[in-house]
Amino acid sequence: GQAKQSYNLFSDLNQWMLKVLVAPEVPEHLLNAPRKQYRNVSELAVAANVSVMSAFRFASRLREEGFLDESGQSLRLVRRVDLFQRWQSAAVLSSPEMRMGFLLPGDIKTQIRKLMSKHELCLGLFAAADQLGLGHVSGVPPYVYVPRLPHSGFQGWKGLLPVAPGELPQLIVKQALAPQSMFRGAVMKDGVQVADVIQVWLDVSSHPSRGAEQADYIRGKVLQSIIGEAA
């Protein structure tokens, strides 16, 4: 467990540090992260609010893989096409989810907002893309991420019920694969916590409902200049 985990380039906190390193190139309304240049790993650790040990492991892993350039004034990610491809592949693991419906009829967006004011939730996938002004696919129920799915079901969540098999859910509650990276990077939009643009790109990439198309759209609109062209 532990030793292996610390060497995973795409562990939860490592994904967050990757976001911190590219943050200066991402518009502020699309990613919540410090926007600075870091002369060394200790500065990165402080800004990212992670232990110096975590940051050093992360940097040495990047170095081993040839993704870190330290020759200039500040730490810089290089070979990004390869890096982002690997990141995308690491993010396709599935995580548990529950298909839910609201007890009472009403505007779904309003009901979700109400739910989010009471629990630690983050709007993800296509609904998040819409909120970020990057929507491209419609008709998929909104996904709401939680740090952990509750074991005892959703009794504490008033007004929500699991839908019967075969019934269409009004929302899907999903456990975040990398909760630190997701919740730290999330931006506030209209009083709702929304996954950042990189997170949305990662998460939609492998979604069966035209996810690849949505991911390409986000890449074309925002991430192309950050990732760069394939050689």
The pair of structure tokens assigned to 220 is: 């074309």
In DSSP terms, 69 is beta-bridged to 76
- For the stretch 5-32, pLDDT in tens is 446 899 999 999 999 999 999 999 999 9
Give the whole-angstrom CA distance, residue 27 versus residue 37.
Answer: 16
- Phi, psi (rounded to 5 degrees) for 96: -60, 145
Q: Strand ranges (DSSP E) for the chain?
A: 68-69, 76-77, 97-102, 122-124, 143-146, 160-162, 171-175, 187-189, 192-194
The predicted model scores a pTM of: 0.93
Closest CA to 28 of 188, 229, 209: 188
- For the stretch 156-209, pLDDT in tens is 677 888 899 889 999 999 999 999 999 999 999 988 999 999 999 999 999 988
- For the stretch 109-158, pLDDT in tens is 899 888 888 888 999 999 999 999 999 999 999 999 999 987 766 666 77
Residue 44 burial (10 A CB sphere; 0-12, 13-18, 19+): buried
